[in-house]
Copies of this chain bind each other. A is one copy, B any other.
Amino acid sequence: MGKNQETEIATLGEFGLIDRLTKGAEIKNSTTIKGVGDDCAVISHTTDTETLITTDLLLEGIHFDLTYCPLKHLGYKAAVVNFSDVYAMNGTPRQITVSLGISKRFTVEHIEELYSGIRLACDVYGVDLVGGDTSASVTGLLISITCIGEGEKGKIVYRNGAKDTDLICVSGDLGAAYMGLQLLEREKAISKNSPDGDFSPAFEGHEYILERQLKPEARKDVIEELAKLGIMPTSMIDVSDGLSSELMHICKQSNAGCLVYEERIPIDYQTACMAEEFNLNLVTAALNGGEDYELLFTVNLADYEKVASMHTVRIIGRITKPEYGCMMQTRDGNEIPLRAQGWNAFNA
């Protein structure tokens, strides 16, 4: 991050920086009455919707490492993880606010790069950037994004509606982002021990897991397909902390148990290869890796045929009575309790 020809943030000040970052942004949603530039953003709504609010905090040194995470990707990811929470309520993200804490080693151009990723995510998902706060920080970069979404009244899906015999479904595949992170960390360690210029990271053939880690997408497509098929999930959550942890949230809040089948857990080929190379247990990575941003949901048994027709969704088990607990049937036919080993920043 050289500072040649770059602009120190102090030369613009907070208001100058905000002007530069938000200039020329077009409003995409008719409900965005007032974006950046007043004490509050102003949002209108129709009578048949409710408002969804979610917020995520990303801290340098805890959630991201700029050694291998490009600022544009980071901005994209910071926005998308919030959109994912709105989709997990069966809603549509509409607006975000972006607060940044910025230490002295960042220039205006760095922050523009970060913002270009945030803006790209907003363009792809049809979201308006309507406000935020920008400040100096003592150390490192921090990004706090709040997303405002819309859900249709009566169609918002909570975590607490799963019922005995419901089918458990998950979109996409799991564990890839986690294996991407392992690869990035390994190459970073090797690079540190290599003489200058004598190192090129071994990323070939691992593009998918790297993209899953560095530039995840939110499953807007799955929400749209569910609506088209007339499927209303009984419960839903996005997989940010790992499948086990999210399943246990649904079971706890729905007062239910579950049984998932190890052999049904969707895992990509690149994820499997990388796990083997690292000598890591593949299923553990898929169950507890986290940062998948897939949708985990339950549907009524009557929706079996509809949900089975979805190419992006896999049925991985079923909801049971609460006394049954949260169980996984392994490939060899044993039943073992699921354990949440979701990532805990406070132990990092």
Q: A residues bordering B, Cβ < 8 Å? A: 9-10, 12-14, 17, 33-34, 37-45, 47, 50-57, 59-63, 85-86, 88-89, 91, 95, 97, 99-102, 130-140, 142, 144, 146, 148-149, 151, 153, 156, 158-160, 236-238, 253, 344-348
Contact = CB atoms under 8 A, between A and B. Distances in A.
A17 B122 CA distance: 32
Nearest to A238: B39
Identical copies in the complex: 2
Contacts of A44: 50-51, 153
**Interchain residue pairs A-B with the least CB separation, the first 10:** A144-B144, A40-B52, A39-B88, A61-B138, A136-B345, A146-B146, A39-B85, A43-B51, A57-B99, A40-B54
Contact of A133 (B38, B45, B55, B148): B55
B39 A136 contact: no
10 contacts: A10-B346, A13-B344, A38-B253, A40-B53, A40-B85, A40-B89, A43-B50, A59-B101, A59-B142, A133-B144
B55 A97 contact: yes
A137 to B, nearest CB: 5
Contacts of A42: 50-53, 89, 151, 156
Nearest to A340: B15
Contacts of A38: 89, 158-160, 237, 253
A275 B139 CA distance: 33
Contacts of A132: 55
A41 B57 contact: no
Contacts of A52: 40-43
A62 B135 contact: yes
Given A14-B344, A41-B54, A53-B97, 14 more contacts: A38-B89, A38-B160, A39-B85, A40-B85, A40-B86, A43-B50, A45-B50, A55-B146, A57-B101, A57-B133, A59-B101, A59-B138, A62-B135, A62-B136
B51 A45 contact: yes
A346 B39 contact: no
A278 to B, nearest CB: 25
A95 to B, nearest CB: 7
Contacts of A348: 136
A91 to B, nearest CB: 7
Nearest to A9: B346
A100 B345 CA distance: 12
A97 B146 contact: yes
B39 A89 contact: yes
Contact of A53 (B45, B61, B148, B344): B148
Contacts of A138: 59-62, 139-140
Contact of A142 (B95, B101, B130): B101
Contacts of A97: 53-55, 146
Contacts of A50: 33, 42-45
A64 to B, nearest CB: 12
Contacts of A144: 55, 57, 99, 133, 144
A79 B238 CA distance: 29
A63 B347 CA distance: 27
